[in-house]
């Protein structure tokens, strides 16, 4: 019988009492491990994290928490080979795609480790400068940020079991807030293994990091007013979370990252080099992790008169992508994570095909070292709209996200039309712009800033320097308003901004002598 992965909660490893859910290899179809959380004492787990884990973390200075994160980085680095094996088996990713998840998570941890050490011996943060409250400057107001005395519950998506854990946990732990992680069941193995290695190494206080695999039933019921919740997943689930009594009655602070119809926009008058950069980036974003990225490009906006040229270039680039078993050295794109995900992509494609034509058919890609009847593989598919008028009429293209290697070419008339079409996504995580005119690009970026968490501008002068449309860097904001934030707006990372979600702001009104004691020692 396959191994049942234990959960770590209340300071110890515990297995569920049910049969559990089976995790599969999406290429070979073989059974891997099982996960289960049936019968666990969730109330005790949350209480232990709040009381034991939270107290221990708050007792540490920011520098000490940073050193703690550095120790976590070393533990994870020592087990990288095992993580790559798990990612190949459970997520079906080629090595480069696994690196985005595994090494990306470790890099983010390292970033916040350095930040913590730079913050020094303080246990709280100052928010702005003191403000006078009257004519006499003796009595003033100073805003401070202190760690919330609760737990951070993370309910994560299947596509980034490594990075998705650490990009949330790093700022939470640095803030002094204990973490309970609920990974998506389909790819929970990597998350559980990373947590196990860190816990077994003893580099975190007891109760600082917990993992619960399997069903999420009952988790939200445990949340109390000073807890925080971060969710990554579908807009439908986000709606359920926002309507839960923990949020509506107990006012639990929530951060949500949901569906996002991200766009790439080639501005009018772009040079041939800018066009090449667009083609290269769209093809890369369509195929990295088989398009299973919340930041992947879904809509490609191009001037109407250039649509045929760009369609041909993109199709030629995608045709070179080898698809199949990620263990084969010739394969450049692996599998979708499960049969359920494969079915969802097939259904989504059928929906979009009712309004768009196929420019490059993913079905033309013969699978390498993989059985089409078993493997959850699908080739990259480029759809296209006939003209600018069709771009207006194709409502599904601007409303339905296919979470796989699928993008749609969207012709536009002029810049005003392109902006209107992009905004029909109702809020996105990222839009990338391509051109060479700094004035036009800067103006376009500000026009899109209110409906996007990030605007990524790629010009010929930064062709070898930019970090990529879909790559989430810890220094920049990750999240988005509207649809991308599950209706409430989502924000993660962004350097020190990520710490604010885990802190409570208060104004302390006192004499300057008292307020001077709030300033961290040098």
Q: What is the DSSP string of 443-464?
A: HHHHHHGGGEEEEEEE-GGGTT
Catalytic residue list contains 85: no
CA distance 430 to 63: 33
CA distance 388 to 205: 58
Selecting among 294, 376, 491, 492, the annotated active-site residue is 294
Three-state SS sequence of 507-521? EEEEEHHHHHHHCCC
To which H or E segment does residue 98 belong?
Answer: helix 95-119
Half-sphere exposure of 74 (CA within 13 A, CB side): 10
Sheet with 263-266, side-by-side order of all strands: 357-360, 381-384, 406-412, 299-303, 263-266, 428-434, 452-458
Query: Do 26 and 375 meet the contact criterion of CB atoms below 8 Å apart?
Result: yes
Catalytic residue list contains 377: no
Selecting among 62, 167, 213, 257, the annotated active-site residue is 257
Q: How far is CA 300 from the centre of its chain?
A: 21
CA distance 173 to 269: 47
Q: What is the DSSP string of 288-357?
A: GGGG--TT---EEEEEGGGHHHHHHHHHHHHTT--EE-TTSTT-SB---S-HHHHHHHHHHHHHHHTTSE
- Residue 242 phi/psi, 5-degree rounding, is -65, -20
Specify the length of the chain in residues.
522
CA distance 63 to 287: 40
- Which sequence positions are flagged as catalytic? 257, 294
């Amino acid at each position: 019988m396959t191994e049942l992965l234990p959960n770590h909660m209340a300071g110890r490893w515990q297995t569920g009492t049910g049969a559990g859910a089976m995790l599969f290899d999406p290429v070979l179809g073989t059974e891997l491990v099982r996960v289960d959380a049936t019968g666990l004492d969730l109330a005790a787990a949350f209480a232990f994290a709040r009381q034991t884990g939270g107290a221990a973390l708050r007792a540490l200075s920011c520098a000490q928490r940073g050193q703690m994160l550095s120790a976590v980085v070393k533990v994870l680095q020592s087990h990288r080979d095992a993580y790559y094996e798990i990612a190949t088996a459970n997520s079906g990713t080629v090595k480069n795609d696994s690196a985005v998840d595994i090494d990306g998570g470790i890099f983010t941890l390292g970033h916040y480790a350095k930040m913590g050490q730079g913050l020094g011996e303080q246990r709280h943060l100052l928010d702005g400068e003191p403000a006078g409250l009257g004519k006499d400057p003796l009595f003033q107001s100073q805003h401070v940020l202190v760690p919330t005395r609760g737990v951070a519950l993370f309910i994560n998506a299947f596509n980034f079991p490594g990075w998705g854990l650490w990009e949330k946990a790093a700022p939470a732990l640095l803030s002094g807030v204990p973490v309970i992680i609920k990974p998506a069941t389909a790819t929970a193995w990597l998350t559980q293994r990373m947590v196990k290695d860190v816990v077994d190494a003893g580099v975190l206080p007891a109760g600082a990091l917990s993992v619960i695999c399997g069903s999420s039933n009952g988790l939200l019921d445990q949340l109390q007013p000073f807890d925080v919740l971060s969710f990554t997943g579908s807009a439908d689930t986000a709606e359920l979370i926002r309507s839960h009594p923990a949020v509506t009655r107990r006012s639990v602070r929530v951060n949500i990252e949901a569906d996002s119809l991200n766009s790439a926009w080639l501005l009018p008058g772009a040079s041939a080099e800018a066009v090449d950069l667009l083609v290269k980036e769209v093809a890369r974003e369509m195929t990295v992790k088989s398009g299973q990225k919340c930041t992947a490009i879904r809509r490609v906006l191009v001037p109407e008169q250039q649509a045929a040229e760009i369609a041909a270039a993109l199709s030629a680039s995608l045709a070179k992508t080898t698809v199949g078993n990620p263990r084969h050295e010739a394969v450049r794109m692996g599998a979708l994570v499960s049969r359920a995900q494969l079915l969802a992509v097939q259904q989504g494609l059928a929906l979009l095909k009712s309004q768009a034509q196929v420019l490059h058919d993913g079905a033309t890609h013969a699978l390498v070292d993989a059985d089409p009847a078993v493997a959850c593989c699908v080739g990259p598919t480029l759809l296209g709209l006939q003209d600018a008028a069709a771009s207006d009429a194709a409502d599904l293209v601007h409303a339905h996200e296919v979470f796989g290697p699928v993008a749609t070419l969207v012709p536009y008339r002029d810049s005003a039309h392109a902006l209107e079409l992009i905004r029909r996504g109702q809020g996105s995580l990222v839009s990338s712009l391509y051109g060479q005119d700094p004035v036009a690009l800067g103006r376009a970026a500000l026009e899109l800033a209110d409906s996007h968490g990030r605007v990524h501008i790629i010009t010929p002068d930064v062709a070898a320097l930019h970090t990529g449309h879909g790559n989430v860097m810890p220094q920049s904001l990750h999240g988005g308003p509207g649809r991308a934030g599950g209706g409430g707006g989502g924000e993660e990372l962004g350097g020190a901004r990520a710490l604010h979600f885990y802190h409570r702001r208060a104004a302390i009104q006192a004499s300057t002598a008292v307020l001077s004691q709030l300033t961290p020692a040098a």
